[in-house]
Amino acid sequence: MTDAPRFSPGDVVRLKSGGPPMTVESVVSG
């Protein structure tokens, strides 16, 4: 939940578009 406010809805999409799976997983997990 600590990473939730850190990443914005737009940032999440950007990571999903082309980013490390670890980052996306962290956002989804947290």
Three-point CA angle 7, 9, 10, nearest 5°: 95
pLDDT digit string, tens, across residues 1-30:
555 556 666 666 665 656 565 566 666 655
pLDDT of residue 10: 64
Q: What is the 3-state secondary structure (H, E, C) of the chain?
A: CCHHHHCCHHHHHHHHHHCCHHHHHHHHHC
Residues 6+ away with beta carbon under 8 Å from 16: 24
